[in-house]
Amino acid sequence: MTHARAEREALCDLLDRLGPDAPTLCAGWTTADLAAHLVLRERRLDAAGGIAIKPLAGYTERVQDGIKSGRSYRDLIDAVREGPPRWSPYGFLPGMDAMVNTLEFLVHHEDVRRAQDRWEPRELPAGLEEMVWKRVAGGARLMLRRSPVGVVLRRPDGRKAGGKKAEPHVIVTGEPVELLLFSFGRQDHARVTYEGEKTSIDSLRAARLGV
């Protein structure tokens, strides 16, 4: 089983257990909203552009609301668990699911986990942890481009990745999944530490980060 499939299955199990009205870290979204988002992303490619392109966001939101209201919560989870249809680029291109969906489902799995009470970080398989680190290191400049200060990401073992070159800068230290969540704009829910001037740290923690 690929890491993408494992995270998909784990997220679906959690959504199933929590029900449709549980909170998530995605602002304004319940678990049902998140499930509808994932269905749209893989099955309504005509509306997926609004996920990243603001002028298209209104259409995407309307389609997502229609998916949520037009299907039972059980059907939404089943569609997510089934995975992308064969006509989808995620379905028929070899390796595309693993390449595109590993971080997508990892982050959204944590979006649900960390919105609940008494969550704790989980230990990831070593292979997944290294994959996350490579993706974070390779994408840090893009994800942190809106940071008001320079950013260096650092693992506890000392390995570093440059996020944004600027002064003053802040060093953000954490395990790969924590740095991933930080870089995706989940600063308040990432178990990381900061080194730098207090004003720089405060502005970085309040910044809108992510793709």
24 and 95 assigned to the same domain:
yes
**Taking residues 106-134, what's their average pLDDT?**
95
pLDDT at residue 44 tops 70: yes
What's this model's pTM, rounded to 2 decimal places?
A: 0.92
Range of the domain at 142: 133-206
**Taking residues 159-168, what's their average pLDDT?**
92
The full 3-state SS of 151-175, as one line of letters, equals EEEECCCCCEEEEECCCCEEEEECC
Nearest to 66 by CA among 27, 90, 40, 42: 40
How confident is the model over 183-211, as pLDDT tens digits? 999 999 999 999 999 999 999 999 999 87
Is 122 inside any structural domain? no
Question: What's the confidence (pLDDT) of residue 54?
Answer: 86
* Counted domains in the chain: 2
**Helices 176-183, 126-143: crossing angle, 10 deg rounding:** 30
Question: What's the confidence (pLDDT) of residue 84?
Answer: 84
How confident is the model over 122-161, as pLDDT tens digits? 999 999 999 999 999 999 999 999 999 999 999 999 999 9
Is 13 inside any structural domain? yes
pLDDT at residue 98 tops 70: yes
Please say whether the beta carbons of 181 and 205 come within 8 A: no
- Which one of 57, 84, 113 terminates a domain? 113
Is 72 inside any structural domain? yes
29 and 99 assigned to the same domain:
yes
Give the C-alpha separation, 202 to 205, whole Å.
5
Question: What's the confidence (pLDDT) of residue 157?
Answer: 94
Question: What's the confidence (pLDDT) of residue 91?
Answer: 66
36 and 108 assigned to the same domain:
yes
Give the C-alpha separation, 174 to 153, whole Å.
8
92 and 148 assigned to the same domain:
no
